[in-house]
């Protein structure tokens, strides 16, 4: 499985538009070659370089198996029209919160998981709650890393 974005390439700089210094909108993401038995996708975006420990920027799950992308600027609501649900990020909001590092350049990991079922979780879960719920249901994982510095 492969995860890409037309906003930035692997290990390149994330454009300001997708950060707290710009419009703070989510970048478009596209994936391909998902496992045959995929029933849903989940995505976590986090920053392991944050001073206080890993900072969560986005939690979204129950993305239907027939979906292969997320458009730019995903609405910051609990549930999307296609049934995907969003969790709470470390800014205490639903949906995406862009990079906003306090100092030097940070790495942002967009991690896509192909799951063998839909998850029985409500919107508003944390990253750790999602990880616990999907732990035994991950078929495959793809990762896209972007960088940003202020």
Model's pTM, two decimal places?
Answer: 0.97
pLDDT-based confidence at 103, cuts 50/70/90?
confident
Domains: count for the chain: 1
User: How large is the average pLDDT for residues 104-119?
Assistant: 98
Calculate what percentage of the chain has a pLDDT beyond 90. Answer: 98
pLDDT over threshold 90, residue 137: yes
CB 87 within 8 A of CB 59: yes
- Residue 54's CATH number: 3.90.280.10
Q: How far is CA 30 from the centre of its chain?
A: 12
Q: What domain range is 6 assigned to?
A: 2-148
pLDDT digit string, tens, across residues 9-30 = 999 999 999 999 999 999 999 9
Per-residue pLDDT of 51-100, as tens digits, reads 999 999 999 999 999 999 999 999 999 999 999 999 999 999 999 999 99
Give whole-number Cα distances, 101 to 10, 20, 36, 40, 134, in Å.
Answer: 19, 9, 38, 31, 29
CA dist., res. 108 & res. 76, Å (int): 19
Residue 60 near residue 84, CB atoms below 8 Å: yes
Q: Which residue intervals of the chain are DSSP H helices?
A: 127-134
């Amino acid at each position: 499985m492969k995860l890409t974005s037309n906003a930035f390439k692997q290990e390149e700089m994330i454009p300001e538009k997708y950060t707290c210094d710009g419009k703070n909108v989510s970048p478009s993401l596209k994936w391909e070659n998902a496992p045959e038995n995929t029933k849903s996708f989940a995505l976590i975006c986090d920053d392991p370089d944050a001073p206080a420990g890993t900072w969560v920027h986005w939690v979204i799950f129950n993305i239907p198996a027939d979906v292969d992308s997320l458009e730019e600027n995903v609405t910051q609501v609990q549930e999307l029209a296609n049934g995907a649900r969003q969790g709470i990020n470390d800014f205490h909001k639903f949906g995406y919160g862009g990079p906003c590092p306090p100092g030097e350049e940070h790495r942002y990991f967009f991690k896509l998981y192909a799951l063998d079922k839909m998850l029985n979780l409500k919107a508003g879960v944390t990253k750790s709650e999602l990880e616990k719920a999907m732990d035994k249901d991950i078929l495959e994982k793809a990762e896209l890393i972007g960088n940003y510095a202020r």
